[in-house]
Chains A and B, each alone.
Chain A
Amino acid sequence: MNHPSAIRIFFKTIVARAYPRFVGSHRNLTWLVTETLLPLIGTIAMIYVYRALHAPARYLGFVVLGGVLLAFWQNVIWSMATQFFWDRGGGNLELFAMAPTSLAAILLGMALGGVYMSLTRSAAVLLVASTLFGIGYSTASLLPALGIFVLTVCALYCLGMVLASLFLFYQREAWQLADALQEPIYFLSGFYFPVRSLGAVVGGLGSLIPLTLGLDAIRQLVLPGTPQFVPLAWEVVAIVVQIVAYGVLSQVSLRYLELQSRQDARLILRST
């Protein structure tokens, strides 16, 4: 029987699954308030902590750049990792799983749709916080910094796919698990302070999350005087390795998830 090729279905699925996110963000603008104000408030609170401590200006920059990447971590956790869990609750997962498409394409589509919101959120944090507190950045290495940002986001989304398979094995506790992946990860990834301050062991552990090395590398490039955690080149190599490793792991885990879920009825059992 003739049917569309797997690659065609893959790309069509990405576009189609991104569509509701994209359209939804235009039709329901309430997200603008929460998605921009909430991270902005968190960033500003941390800036005031440094202000109270009379910290050098670059430390305010550390916080702002942390706030920028935090938006993507939130997108990965709430709009990607937990998404199959929400979709199962709403009954969509059955329809996704029953279609001749891949779950990876569904997840990538969701992430793509969410990037728009994350970019808006990041831009708001970067522009508003930098302007309010007069934070300057070195633009000499802006392009490499952007390149590392893109690589970091790619690695992050590959990790998000791995987490998505994990989350499907949870019932009500999925929400709490996602919640628990916030402050502990902000700590381990050095969102608000130089990664080097974590020391080799904790920093090394935190580096399993692509954000840690990506954030440190970007800070090194745009905020001169950033205490170096590891040399920039190593960080870039490590992020590329993470893209490959998490990419492969995500495929393996998604296949395992699908098989195991068919066995355990996890694709059809709804939970709230």
Chain B
Amino acid sequence: MSEAIAQWRGFKAATRLGWKISSNWTQPLIFVIYSVLRPLSAAFILVIMYRVISGGAPGTGAYLAFLVSGVAFWSFVQYGFAGLSNGIVEDRGEYKMLKYVYTSPAHFYVYLLGRGLAQLASAAASAVIVLVVATVALRLPIHPLGVNYPLLLSASFLALLAVIGMAMAYGLLLLQAVDAHGYGELGSGVLYVISGAIFPITVLPGVLATLASLSPLVYWMELIRRSLLGSQAIRMFPALSDGDVMLRLVVTTVATLLLAHLVFTWADRQARRKGLIDMESNW
């Protein structure tokens, strides 16, 4: 069996495993309801917050679309980042199988990519349903035929690479802790604040705004809104063209992946040196 086939099989098994863990606890319909309940509620919270302040003034559609699109696509970060990094810790602490995966011929990267892909599949379902429901319910200015799909898909592809890279590195870092409960959510919480998902990063104080401008997520959010809403999008970077924003997304994604690789390699070495892969931990 060639090496490539072995890795492909490992990848498929990891994807299948990740999907089963996240979805096979219930019937498909209940799974879909569960998947959209949280992001939909989060969107409605923001809608009410906005309506309370704006009082339904003209031009509300664009701002609501800004909020809803941010929440809908945030599912990818929630599932991809918190889900995958928690999954690594969970594989060690609860399922006690990390050591077997780690020592299998499938490359650890490949396994984690597979697990991450399963998380993103859940997120995609959630994002689409939230977007459709909110667009119809709130009459948002999003028209399926007017969406710039190439821009949306290429930006999302890059951003999700960055998300999975960050999640892998963060998950490996979490192996250092005996009790890493809640740290996945903590990490995604920090990203939430500096991603421009629910408010423009211009309201952040100087240091946080600078930090946010180094994150690929903020350019991704900008491109999502531009691709969905076109000229009606509320822009965080009005001075930048679509190409400029894409260029920044590419640069920050590459930088993030490089940094993630360095952190992953360091954390991996530490984990092996300290015997953390099969450590008894709290879960």
Residues of A within 8 A of B (CB): 28, 30-31, 33-35, 37-38, 41-42, 44-46, 48-55, 59, 171-173, 176, 179-180, 182-184, 186-187, 191-194, 197-198, 272
Q: Mask for B183-218, Cβ within 8 A of A = 1, else 0?
A: 101100110110000111001100000000000000
- The 9 nearest A-B residue pairs measured at CB: A34-B182, A183-B41, A41-B189, A52-B199, A172-B25, A184-B41, A187-B41, A53-B53, A183-B38
Chain B contacts with A in 36-52, Cβ cutoff 8 A: 37-39, 41-42, 44-46, 48-52
Contact A183/B42 with A41-B186, A49-B198, A272-B94 known, Cβ cut-off 8 Å: yes
A-B contact pairs, 9 of them (CB 8 A): A38-B186, A41-B190, A41-B193, A42-B189, A45-B193, A48-B203, A180-B37, A187-B44, A193-B52
* Bound Cα distance A55, B94 (Å): 45
Q: In the bound complex, do residue B192 and residue A41 qualify as a contact, i.e. CB atoms below 8 Å apart?
A: yes
Q: DSSP class of A's interface residues: helix, strand, loop or mixed?
A: helix
Judged by a CB distance under 8 angstroms, whether B26 is at the interface is: yes
Q: In the bound complex, do residue A193 and residue B186 qualify as a contact, i.e. CB atoms below 8 Å apart?
A: no
Residues of B within 8 A of A (CB): 25-26, 30, 34, 37-39, 41-42, 44-46, 48-54, 67, 94-95, 177-183, 185-186, 189-190, 192-193, 198-200, 203-204, 282
Minimal beta-carbon separation of B134 from chain A (angstroms) = 13
Q: In the bound complex, do residue A52 and residue B200 qualify as a contact, i.e. CB atoms below 8 Å apart?
A: yes
Contact A184/B37 with A45-B193, A50-B53, A176-B25 known, Cβ cut-off 8 Å: yes
Minimal beta-carbon separation of A27 from chain B (angstroms) = 11
Q: In the bound complex, do residue B25 and residue A173 qualify as a contact, i.e. CB atoms below 8 Å apart?
A: yes
Q: In the bound complex, do residue B185 and residue A38 qualify as a contact, i.e. CB atoms below 8 Å apart?
A: yes
Besides A30-B177, A187-B48, 9 more A-B contacts (Cβ < 8 Å) are A33-B186, A48-B193, A49-B199, A53-B53, A173-B26, A176-B26, A183-B39, A197-B48, A197-B52
Q: DSSP class of B's interface residues: helix, strand, loop or mixed?
A: helix
Please, which residues of chain A bring their CB within 8 A of the CB of B178? 28, 30
* Bound Cα distance A192, B189 (Å): 17
Interface centre among B46, B53, B177 (most CB of A within 10 A): B53
Please, which residues of chain B bring their CB within 8 A of the CB of A45? 189, 192-193, 198-199
Please, which residues of chain B bring their CB within 8 A of the CB of A37? 186, 189
Q: In the bound complex, do residue B203 and residue A52 qualify as a contact, i.e. CB atoms below 8 Å apart?
A: yes
* Bound Cα distance A171, B25 (Å): 8
Picked from B30, B38, B48, B199, the residue with its CB within 8 Å of the CB of A182 is: B38
Please, which residues of chain B bring their CB within 8 A of the CB of A33? 183, 186
Please, which residues of chain B bring their CB within 8 A of the CB of A59? 52-53
Minimal beta-carbon separation of B40 from chain A (angstroms) = 8
Please, which residues of chain B bring their CB within 8 A of the CB of A197? 48, 51-52
* Bound Cα distance A184, B198 (Å): 18
Minimal beta-carbon separation of B138 from chain A (angstroms) = 15
> Closest A-chain residue to B63, C-beta based?
A53
Interface centre among B45, B94, B180, B182 (most CB of A within 10 A): B45
Contact A34/B186 with A180-B38, A192-B49 known, Cβ cut-off 8 Å: yes
* Bound Cα distance A198, B45 (Å): 10
Please, which residues of chain A bring their CB within 8 A of the CB of B200? 52
Please, which residues of chain A bring their CB within 8 A of the CB of B38? 179-180, 182-184
> Closest B-chain residue to A198, C-beta based?
B48
Please, which residues of chain B bring their CB within 8 A of the CB of A176? 25-26, 34
Picked from A28, A42, A179, A186, the residue with its CB within 8 Å of the CB of B179 is: A28
Contact A183/B45 with A37-B186, A48-B204, A171-B25 known, Cβ cut-off 8 Å: yes
